[in-house]
Amino acid sequence: MVSQQVASVRLPTGTDSPVQSVEATLELALASARNGLSALQASTTAIADTALDKPVHSASDYDLSGTVVRIADGDTLTLLDATNTQHKIRLHGIDTPERRQPYGNAAREALEALVAGQHIGVVVQDTDRYGRTVGTVYRNGLNVNLTLVEKGWAWWYERYARNDRELAQAQREARAARRGLWQDSHPIAPWEWRRLH
């Protein structure tokens, strides 16, 4: 019964901004997850009518573009481009909890709610030591990396984005508002968790 109720929920058209639409979608997805539904099930219908479906950038603004075919965790996805080539993308400047870490599943579900099955663009920054493309992901103009930090599902990864004031500010605000993982009074940063485990 819950899945039928969630599936029929639609966000109002004409929302003020893509960020507000994403906020509502993430809230719906997380509430649904608590009821045993995946974020993707809860958000697919809700996202369809939002401002996110109005492109802001053209394909030429991105180094890579394609459809998201896999979400590995909260900061890694796989994109399938127009030539059917898969690209593993690591989101630049952020780090999310590991899957076995507290909030790891919630971070993955937040990324899933934003981009699973959707067309995205990537501004490439680098290639990491694992061969993944490191970049900033956009969905119809919305900076997905920044959104995850704003909602409290990712840390600003200062080591790799030292001068990114936008990510730094987003983290300060998320922490002050106790959003996402900041609900925990002493969350463990993923880089510390990896070192300990």
| Long-range CB contacts (within 8 A, 24+) of 123-129 | 123/61, 123/62, 123/63, 124/63, 124/64, 125/92, 126/92, 128/90
- Torsion over CA: 6, 8, 13, 18 (sign): positive
Which residue did the predictor score with more confidence, 32 or 75? 75
Active-site entry in 98, 109, 112, 150 = 98
More confident residue, 14 or 181: 181
**CA-to-CA distance for 127 and 14, rounded, in angstroms?**
38
**Is there a catalytic annotation at residue 70?**
no
pLDDT band at 6 (very low <50, low <70, confident <90, very high): very low
- Annotated catalytic, 10? no
3-state SS, one letter per residue, for 144-167 = HHHHHHHCCCCEECCCCCCCCHHH
98 carries an active-site annotation? yes
Inform me whether the pLDDT recorded for 51 exceeds 50.
no
Model pTM score: 0.72
What does the pLDDT read at residue 191? 86
pLDDT in tens, 87-136: 999 999 999 999 899 999 999 999 999 999 999 999 999 999 999 999 99
**Active-site pick, 90, 108, 112, 139:** 90
- Tell me: pLDDT of 18 over 60: no
- Can you give the pLDDT at residue 27? 60
Q: What's the pLDDT tens digit per position in 155-179?
A: 988 888 888 899 999 999 999 999 9
Res. 21 pLDDT band, cuts 50 70 90: low
Best CATH choice for the domain 2-159 from the list 1.10.1200.10, 3.40.50.300, 2.40.50.90, 1.20.58.1610: 2.40.50.90
Catalytic residue among 108, 109, 112, 132: 132
The answer to whether the beta carbons of residues 27 and 42 sit under 8 Å apart is no
Integer Cα distance of 15 and 151 in angstroms: 18
Listed residue (194, 28, 192) closest to 100, CA to CA: 194
CA angle 123, 79, 188 (to 5 degrees): 75
- Per-residue pLDDT band at 31 (split at 50, 70, 90): low
**According to the model, what pLDDT value does residue 64 have?**
97
Determine phi and psi for 67, rounding to 5 degrees: -105, 135
